[in-house]
Structure 1
């Protein structure tokens, strides 16, 4: 595919987006009916602002979902501390809640506009950002092209590319180059990610490490932790967190395999998508297991087999109830989930082998002794059994994970250094406008 043909395709994408824009309403309404959109703020998805633009320079920061939002919160706070306004966009209801809880009125939160020309244009016309910062793997063609047309510097921070995404872009090198040439800087999570971005034409590329390491451990309500700990008592526990379809079944079967060896064993299962909890509870009850859902008023009894974590935003609570955590989307799913939160909370980390999206974090934890990979259900049961039986080995893993995470810190400062050439002029501009009464 030639460069000219790639640009023709991207222009076609722009025109197609404009054509389907009038028809997108039913889709957004359907998402709202399923709780995936905020009905009261649906207009923001069309680029229609719900707040006025403040005077002075603005940095637009986009983080797709909860993990990315948590990762950029310290970055947002530092930029706000310079006296520069920030518009933070997210794509999910839960990430909007995180933004509100952690940043409140200090930041202007909007839902990200659909990647269609009318919506993106309307958003950019109103907010007129001086700098756009995107987190992780947020490559939206229309948004990138429109920002490029307006000469707005674009920086990708905490950048990562999964193997699948990289191979997909490699098949379309001219399209990749036509998009990535619009990025003024890519700050990648790892050396491997940096090499991928460079191979696709991004320049310049620097490596910062993972911003998710520089966040505080997930918080928990102390009273809730104390209450559940009192109900659990001295029972042995392990957890399967951020699980995807099929992994809850594996965790329940591991529980059945181990409960005779470890009297009173309690297994904590926290699905990535808690809306599946009703189905999962019925499935586990059908296996002869007694299940208590976190959202129920039922207490954990001595004969409770499974605590089903069917809430959002309480990972810190569940991880404080155990010293062993299997991290999902790694046995029956692909890509893995973030192992850093369990490691931060002194938890021995277990995972399946499909952890491509968090390769660098897992490699460091494996090298440091804070994590182990398992191949299947039997191997997972063996690992949990070993750690429950051997306190010294369990505590060594817990300490190794915490030490590894501490050694990985520093991504925030490296990211800010990469952003300084873009942010410093805005700081000067903001101070001059304030001094002049602008």
Structure 2
């Protein structure tokens, strides 16, 4: 009975896509006007190709946004070393920009088709992937079912499930089983994630660790870093990164509390840079002077905030400080990846809402490299304490680096699990080249 209801629900979802099809063009037009879609490439969202398909084996990688894209880039490079073609789809303009900056032209980027049968079918008919590799937690029912009907193996890499997502899927266990059984393999980040996927019906499930830990190459422009450091002089700094609504204002208030005693500069890097105008206005209303990276504003002695309103420059911002508060954790929920600041050399602070990165925070906290702050007041005290206690700050930084080093190996483990699927394609690519 449960399976029958699940199949009925999936069928209803598929038909709902057909019904909503006429509304999707104006919907994407509105998103384009807000800068959330690339207007020139909107047809890709309906499955129309924007590039020519190369001959030979091809793997389709999908990564939803910036974090997932960054995580799978080393994996894509490993596949390309074997002369297997890759088409990478992403769902956001910012992730497309990251892909174009960090991957060469041999990797074809397309915007992911909408999860409706005409769009997904058109995409698959044209690209004819031999394998689909999906990053982290992107579960689109029509896409998974279309891949299954065409007998295209689909593998989830760096898989994770938040407690909220897991609880939601578990309430509809029959539906979850119908969907997750489409995966030929799930490669999870942790044992806890693996257990969740197994309970929902995925089989087989392996554990690799977190691909983001292996990816510490965050690029930066050396001349820009040198210029900012020169402008900073001896001023102390701290950064609030991957911030969400209300966290930028909180960082501004922390700055107000500490600037007299510390003469500091605060670096704010919002998770969504398109919010930069409203963030600047909010900070100006606090009486703070803001320099914006997109305007190439210099850091002057009276600059309070450097607003990092760019994509792909986290390596620059984190190298300007040794203290990083990681957002989406104080007033929003879920948390963001703390491994990047730990790997680069920052003592990590975070709010308590880090459910999506619990394993990473537990490891960092156990080694003394991350501290959880329960509110804005404790955050301000934590920043002040670390700024003025060099041995404590250095101990946290060293512990973070050691923790990251101990967690490496996810890329090797993932490639080992993918080997049975990649090796035949590599052999075919070599034969085709002769």
Matches within 5 A, 1:32-431: 32-262=32-262, 264-431=263-430
Asked if the contact 2:116/2:142 (under 8 Å) is kept, the reply is: yes
Is the 8 Å Cα contact of residues 342 and 401 (structure 2) preserved in structure 1? yes
Structure 2 residues not aligned, in runs of 5+:
none
In 2, are the aligned partners of 1:250 and 1:377 still within 8 Å (CA)? Answer: yes
Give the Cα separation in 2 of the matches to 1:366 and 1:39.
44
What is residue 11 of structure 1 aligned with on the other side?
11
Q: How far, CA to CA, are the matches of 1:203 and 1:157 in structure 2? A: 13
Q: Is the 8 A contact 1:217 1:341 kept in 2?
A: no
Q: Would you say the 8 A contact 1:217–1:344 is kept in 2? A: no
* Worse-superposed segment, 178-187 or 290-299: 290-299
Looking at structure 2, the residues matched to 297 and 216 of structure 1 have their Cα atoms a distance apart, in angstroms, of 26
User: What is the deviation of 1:297?
Assistant: 4.6
Contact 2:161 2:196 in 1 (8 A): yes
Q: Could you tell me how far apart the structure 2 residues matched to 1:44 and 1:290 are?
A: 41
Counterparts of 1:310 and 1:433, CA distance in 2: 45
In structure 2, do the counterparts of structure 1 residues 310 and 110 end up closer, same or farther at CA, with 3 Å as the change threshold?
same
Q: CA deviation at 1:360?
A: 1.2
CA distance in 1, matches of 2:214, 2:397: 19
Alpha-carbon spacing, 1:246–1:73, altered in 2? closer, same or farther (3 Å): same
Moved over 4 A (4+): none
Q: Classify 1:298/1:85 alpha carbon distance in 2 versus 1 (closer, same or farther; 3 Å).
A: closer
Matched with 2:433 is: 434
**Structure 1: which 5+ runs fail to align?**
none
Q: 1:396 to 1:73 in 2, by over 3 A?
A: same
| Separation of aligned partners in 2, 1:247 and 1:401 | 24
For residues 105 and 307 of structure 2, the distance between their equivalents in structure 1, rounded to whole angstroms, comes to 34
Distance 1:258 1:145 in 2: 54
SS of the residue 2:105 aligns to: helix
* Other structure's SS at 1:261 match: helix
String of CA shifts for 1:48-104, please: whole Å, max 9, x gaps.
Answer: 112222211111110111111111111111111112111111111121121122212
Task: State the Cα distance separating 1:44 from its structure 2 match.
Answer: 0.7
| TM-score between both structures, scaled by the size of structure 2 | 0.98
How many Å separate the matches in 2 of 1:162 and 1:149?
28
Deviation at residue 173 of structure 1 after TM alignment: 0.2
Q: Structure 1 length as normaliser, TM-score? A: 0.97
- Tell me the residue number matched to 1:24: 24
State the alpha-carbon separation in 2 of the partners of residues 283 and 415 from structure 1.
43
RMSD, aligned CA? 1.2
C-alpha separation in 1, matches of 2:253 and 2:221: 30
Give the distance between the partners of 2:433 and 2:288, measured in 1 at CA. Answer: 64
Q: Distance in 2 between matches of 1:69 and 1:180?
A: 22
Q: Supply the distance in 1 between the matched residues of 2:69 and 2:324 (Cα, whole angstroms).
A: 23
Q: In structure 2, what is the Cα distance between the partners aligned to 1:416 and 1:326?
A: 32
